[in-house]
Structure 1
Amino acid sequence: MIPDLDALLHRHGLSAAIPPGPGSWAAFLGQLAGQLRSGGLAVTAPQGQTTSLILGPAGQIVSMCPSSARLLGASALGTLLDTHLGNGLEGLRLRGLLTRVRGGETLRTALGLRGEGGEVAAWTGTLSRLSGAAGDHLLLSGELSGTAGADLLAPQAFYEELLCALPAPVAILDAQQRYVFCNPAAISSPEIRRWIIGRTDAEYVAYREFGPELARAREHHYLQARQIRDTIFWEESFGTPVHTVQLRSLTPVFGEDGELALCIGHGMDITELRRTQDALHQLNNELEDRVQSRTAQLRTVTRQLRHDASHDALTGLPNRTLFSERLDTALARSRGPGAEEYAVLFLDTDRFKGVNDTLGHPAGDALLRELSARLLAVLRPGDTLARLGGDEFAVLLTPLDSPGDATDTARRIQEALRPPMRLHGLDIALSVSIGVVLAHPEHGSSADILRDADIAMYRAKHSGGAGHQVFTPQMREHTIRMARLENELKHGLGRGELRVVYQPIMALDEGRVAGFEALLRWQHPEHGLLEPGAFLDVAEECGMMLDIDRWVLREACTQLRRWQQESPHTPPLSLNVNFSARHFAAPGVYEQVRGVLADTGFAPERLNLEITEGALLARPEAIGQTLEKLRALGVRLHLDDFGTGYSSLSYLHSYPLDTLKIDRSFVRGMLTSASSAELVRTIIAMAKNMKMRVVAEGIEEVRHLDALRELGCDYGQGYLFARPLSVSEARQFAREH
């Protein structure tokens, strides 16, 4: 029943009593409709089964006719009409209609009412406003026509089915934040979907026993969307029954009056997306960790490569590159404000090759490490010791208080190397030759300084080694001359500028020529005929001696063979050819000599190869084998300059020697020095006892000749007989003697 209904009707000039029972509702509504028409309100009573509802200001059912009660159930009183509509979306349309009716319009429409048993009936009727002391009420007066037809419910059903078919959660809330629609993707349970209509998120969260913070968050987002009048997005996480993550959105919809009509909520399951993102994030973190680790490794490798690029692998000392950089820095400091003096020491190990050849390269490496340690112990902390390569080292002394500090350091180095180094149970003595360069304005770069230090070092080495030499500009000039001479010698060999001259070797007892010694000369285009002393050192250093030795051997054999063919009745002449120590130590020397003899047709037994004592010291075992093979070929071997080197009688027994040659220094001194005369006598006597012949060099006076004949010397050569002769002169000399 409607409170104060009489007063409401009376206000419109109407009077009617509400019938106490459902049987009189039709008459009452007919009377009420007529009175409303007479009062200016058009209310048409429906045809068919009449049903009427009166709604309160909030849309709740406050009264209903018997047919409505049978359909909706007695418990419908007090509930919102929205909850009894055929679908949730109908409620939104109904609310719009009721708003218009409250504004004074009378509207005819159709609704689908859901009965107490769930069936939906079609209602067609009129919506009108009733005003009274209790406030505006709304009258729904119409006709029930049974089950709702397709024409009536098709639009609403279509949209509801469409929303229900979506795989994404969709919900619609009214302006009071109450649910009016929810599809199965949002809530799978039909019972809960029916229950939630008309209820708020707070009620739903409590019903599902979710945390209250979820309801508070949803209300916050709802208010935020209404305030900014635009869609908002957020994420929700659920821990039961399995952890899921939903991306939520809420879109407000406003009516023509600008007031909020409804909010459409949309959801999307992004659990797998978040898991993928988390996995990608984890992979990214792992990748970053790997990148950082790899970067650290690369930095370590880069540092090591930089260290390796500037340091020697064997000793760990700075290499030539780093030494040159520090030297350039010292050079720059020596020219700026507060100039600092410096000095460079260039060190080369004396006779180190012999260590590698006899003990092997691992032993040589061990000695170089020990050498480095001893050198470091001598130097100051700020000095730089570098290994330039092989057995060459360099020292940068900076700052330098006085030039004498450099030579003092050189002497300390020599003293530190004096004690033998112990290796494999052997005591090995090493010494170094040191070149010293002091700061000088003419030096423009580290390369200039190292060049001059190298020049000074070679001067120290040629002075006997185990010492030092301070560089002077004259040393560089000499080196330049030698370099020019080397270049000219290489070209001279190719252009045929070398010559062979022949010095006679006389049989002293008969006074006849026994043979010739082939001696080398260089017909220099500018300086004339040069003797070996002017260029053989250069040839040795630049590695040309092997080629020169072979050329002299072939040239001399060819020449003497031609003389013998021209004078077949002349007794055959012998030929003495000097071979350098390097040649005897070189591989293949036997094959080369045999090849020359075969090519020229010169008899092997007429060839005398001269070897110095120094050559026998180089590689005694290898040289001994070579000499044995040459001796077996028929070639005779002469020991040249006997007595001037490391003479030892053991050499005479160890090698297949045929002849000893007494050096000219002893021959010249035998007339004025008793010791020289005794030495010559001893050599001749010893040779005779060993069945060896003797050749004396440097016979310049008749007294020399007489003394040597008296001592029983076999052969002699010197200016008394003839100086070295050209080819034509030697041929003529042979014919005359």
Structure 2
Amino acid sequence: FDRMVDRLQASFSQMQQLNQDLTESESRLRQLLEALPVGTAVHDATGTLIYLNRVGRKILDVDQTSETPADQLSTTFQSYKAETQEPYPRSEIPAIRALAGESVYAENMELRRENQVVPIEIWASPIYDDRGQVTYAIAAFQDISDRKRTEEQLVYNALHDSLTDLPNRALLVQRLNLAISRAQRSPAFQFAVLFLDLDRFKVFNDSLGHLLGDQILIATARKLQQVIEPTDLAARLGGDEFMLLLEAIEDSQVAIDTAAAILAELASPITVEERELVISTSIGVVIGSAAYHDASDLIRDADIALYRAKAKGKNRYEVFDAEMYTQALKRMQLENDLRQAIARQELEVYYQPIFSVEGSALTSFEALVRWPHPTQGMISPVDFIEVAEETGLIAAIDGWVIQRACQQMADWHRQFPHQRHLKVCVNVSSREIQENHLVNTVIAALNQTGLPPDCLTLEITENILIENIEYTTALLHTLRNQGIRISIDDFGTGYSSLSYLYNLPADSLKIDKSFVSRMDRGNKNFKIVEAVIALSNQLQIDAIAEGIETQEQLDLLRAMGCELGQGYLISRPLPPAAAAQLLSRELT
């Protein structure tokens, strides 16, 4: 376009200077201008429009060129400053500025029609005579509607999610910062942020496929838009995370009511390819204020509240408070310390004995990871295992514990030959199973340590089994075919089903300590324990009771025919040296 304009200017000047027949010169000049693929206008020294070429007449919607004075240009051609109702000022018209000696480029002019706005790009330049005086101005212009639409679409795409068509994180951050600025200017302005994360979305995505997962996200986006006001914003941050910005709310109760409305709306089933699905979500709520200075702080606090909602059981909302932030900082420090502890091999494995309930003979040990923190002392697994699972560190811990436990039991077999029947039980996390490393990890540990496969028991919780029953069952069969024993841990706390139990290659069921600790003769927990023991007998596998803390509990279990047990009554988890002493006493 610029080269075309340069050529136009040079040709116009050359034609003006040619000392040839005037009629022939004007004819050639007109032919040149008429052939140009852009609109071309010529103004005399007063600014009057004296010529329009063919393309120019089409763009300006006129049949022929008529001389138009400079002060009538904007009204005649209905030209306005872009995105305003202001007629284009005479003094800013590019051709008028060119008559003052400027070379001008502008794309802020719009031509208004009845139902159409035409954006125009203009380049104007002065034409000088032999004395260096500006005698004309020539302007080249073109309709840039297609380019503007493309640019607008690019901007829209950059600020919106391609799947759900909701605003994305970039647009959300802009709006959050504007809300913060408004709150700082006007203390009466209140707003709120709701951070949503769909519960168990990965299960839907993995089991139904990503295409159906996408349909779930689209349906969720529509439901969110139905709940909020037109002035509010629903955005997708990515994955199954959404965020709502509620503006100009009366008080915090509006945000709470909106969160409750979302939970209720999502409780109604959605239909995805003839499947009825119920989706739930956890929500973190933050009440905005002038105390915030950046959108990232709002998102951070909403995320903290969301984490609390997840931790409290999901399908609920939690409102952020200062205590949550303090706990989040502690958790972040705990995560950093745990990473260092793994890297420095500061974790330890303790061993809790498992005895025969009937004769009190030692049969095996359960390997339990412990963390002796260098400054905080022994940190409970309750505090760090959850962090390890959420961050993925649990896979590294699992692999290390399997290796260490196999090595320790192999050493004890050599040290105490009469105890070669002893087995070691190791808990396996969901992450270790999902990452498909378990078989290789276990086989490598057995090969390196020389521990017989039937002396290793892997404990899998019910909930892990249910997450992907077909895959997990196949995996357990692979391990069982290698001679490795399988135990179903925390039995009774998950989604127990006889159908999957009959198909699992299980060697034992572990009765969760929550039943054993609250067991009294004849009460509900007693009946559950009794039923599990009866079930294990029918399946011809062992029942192992966890959490035995009183003699009465032990007597009840013995009376019910429970084969094995563990708990503080028998022995607490022991460090390796203390466990070795126990084995020495067993020898004597």
> Structure 2 length as normaliser, TM-score?
0.77
Partner residue in 2 for 1:280: 32
Partner residue in 1 for 2:184: 335
Is 1:384 matched with 2:233? Answer: yes
Give CA-to-partner distance per residue, 1:203-239, whole Å, 9 cap, x none.
xxxxxxxxxxxxxxxxxxxxxxxxxxxxxxxxxxxxx
Asked if structure 2 preserves the Cα contact closer than 8 Å seen for 1:585 and 1:618, the reply is no
Asked if structure 1 preserves the Cα contact closer than 8 Å seen for 2:507 and 2:542, the reply is yes
Partner residue in 2 for 1:710: 559
Is 1:359 matched with 2:208? Answer: yes
Give the residue type in structure 1 aligned to 2:476. Answer: L
Partner residue in 2 for 1:185: none
Partner residue in 2 for 1:663: 512
Is 1:564 matched with 2:413? Answer: yes
Partner residue in 2 for 1:465: 314
Mapping of 1:549-560 within 5 angstroms? 549-560=398-409
Mapping of 1:493-572 within 5 angstroms? 493-572=342-421
Deviation of 1:674 (Å) = 2.4
Partner residue in 1 for 2:296: 447
Give CA-to-partner distance per residue, 1:60-93, whole Å, 9 cap, x none.
xxxxxxxxxxxxxxxxxxxxxxxxxxxxxxxxxx
> For 2:568 and 2:187, how far apart are their aligned partners in 1?
65
> For 1:293 and 1:248, how far apart are their aligned partners in 2?
29
Deviation of 1:596 (Å) = 1.3
Change (3 A) 1:390 1:269: same
Partner residue in 1 for 2:456: 607
Give the residue type in structure 1 aligned to 2:196. Answer: L
Deviation of 1:652 (Å) = 1.3
Pick one of 282, 293, 312 that aligns with 1:433. Answer: 282
Asked if structure 1 preserves the Cα contact closer than 8 Å seen for 2:38 and 2:142, the reply is no
Pick one of 682, 686, 704 that aligns with 2:535. Answer: 686
Give the residue type in structure 1 aligned to 2:439. Answer: Y
Deviation of 1:275 (Å) = 5.9
How many residues are matched?
474
> For 1:326 and 1:594, how far apart are their aligned partners in 2?
54
> For 2:240 and 2:306, how far apart are their aligned partners in 1?
13
> For 2:373 and 2:280, how far apart are their aligned partners in 1?
38
Give the residue type in structure 2 aligned to 1:398. Answer: E
Deviation of 1:282 (Å) = 2.8
Deviation of 1:679 (Å) = 2.1
Partner residue in 2 for 1:370: 219
Query: Which protein shows a greater Rg?
Result: 1
SS in 1 for 2:419: coil
Deviation of 1:293 (Å) = 5.6
Give the residue type in structure 2 aligned to 1:698. Answer: G
> For 1:294 and 1:357, how far apart are their aligned partners in 2?
50
SS in 2 for 1:555: helix
Partner residue in 2 for 1:18: none
Partner residue in 2 for 1:72: none
Is 1:583 matched with 2:335? Answer: no
Deviation of 1:453 (Å) = 0.8
Deviation of 1:702 (Å) = 2.5
Pick one of 499, 502, 507 that aligns with 1:653. Answer: 502
Deviation of 1:269 (Å) = 9.1
> For 2:323 and 2:516, how far apart are their aligned partners in 1?
37
Q: Which runs of 5+ in 1 are unaligned?
A: 1-244, 250-266
Is 1:722 matched with 2:575? Answer: no
Pick one of 225, 238, 244 that aligns with 1:395. Answer: 244
Pick one of 144, 151, 158 that aligns with 1:302. Answer: 151
Deviation of 1:337 (Å) = 4.1
> For 1:512 and 1:689, how far apart are their aligned partners in 2?
24
Partner residue in 2 for 1:344: 193
Deviation of 1:296 (Å) = 2.8
> For 2:144 and 2:380, how far apart are their aligned partners in 1?
67
Give CA-to-partner distance per residue, 1:166-198, whole Å, 9 cap, x none.
xxxxxxxxxxxxxxxxxxxxxxxxxxxxxxxxx
> For 1:613 and 1:700, how far apart are their aligned partners in 2?
24
Asked if structure 1 preserves the Cα contact closer than 8 Å seen for 2:356 and 2:565, the reply is yes
Change (3 A) 1:337 1:705: closer
Deviation of 1:285 (Å) = 4.2
Deviation of 1:631 (Å) = 0.4
> For 1:474 and 1:383, how far apart are their aligned partners in 2?
28
> For 1:279 and 1:286, how far apart are their aligned partners in 2?
14
SS in 2 for 1:535: helix
Pick one of 469, 475, 480 that aligns with 1:626. Answer: 475
Deviation of 1:600 (Å) = 1.3
SS in 2 for 1:334: helix
Deviation of 1:549 (Å) = 0.5
Is 1:733 matched with 2:579? Answer: no
Greater relative contact order (CA < 8 Å, ≥ 6 in sequence): 2
Give the residue type in structure 1 aligned to 2:347. Answer: L
Asked if structure 2 preserves the Cα contact closer than 8 Å seen for 1:455 and 1:475, the reply is yes
Asked if structure 2 preserves the Cα contact closer than 8 Å seen for 1:582 and 1:615, the reply is no
Deviation of 1:707 (Å) = 2.4
Change (3 A) 1:248 1:578: closer
Give CA-to-partner distance per residue, 1:558-583, whole Å, 9 cap, x none.
11111111222434310100001222
> For 2:279 and 2:142, how far apart are their aligned partners in 1?
47
> For 2:18 and 2:582, how far apart are their aligned partners in 1?
125
Give the residue type in structure 2 aligned to 1:469. Answer: E
> For 1:307 and 1:533, how far apart are their aligned partners in 2?
47
RMSD: 2.2
Asked if structure 2 preserves the Cα contact closer than 8 Å seen for 1:515 and 1:575, the reply is yes
Is 1:326 matched with 2:175? Answer: yes
Deviation of 1:276 (Å) = 4.9
> For 1:493 and 1:575, how far apart are their aligned partners in 2?
22
Change (3 A) 1:396 1:269: closer
Change (3 A) 1:248 1:562: closer
SS in 2 for 1:721: coil
> Structure 1 length as normaliser, TM-score?
0.62
> For 2:569 and 2:290, how far apart are their aligned partners in 1?
56
Change (3 A) 1:280 1:594: same
Change (3 A) 1:285 1:698: closer
Pick one of 546, 557, 567 that aligns with 1:697. Answer: 546
Percent identity at matched positions? 39
Asked if structure 2 preserves the Cα contact closer than 8 Å seen for 1:520 and 1:531, the reply is no
SS in 2 for 1:335: helix
> For 1:339 and 1:419, how far apart are their aligned partners in 2?
36
Asked if structure 1 preserves the Cα contact closer than 8 Å seen for 2:187 and 2:290, the reply is no
Change (3 A) 1:715 1:339: same
Partner residue in 1 for 2:331: 482
Give CA-to-partner distance per residue, 1:132-187, whole Å, 9 cap, x none.
xxxxxxxxxxxxxxxxxxxxxxxxxxxxxxxxxxxxxxxxxxxxxxxxxxxxxxxx
Deviation of 1:516 (Å) = 0.6
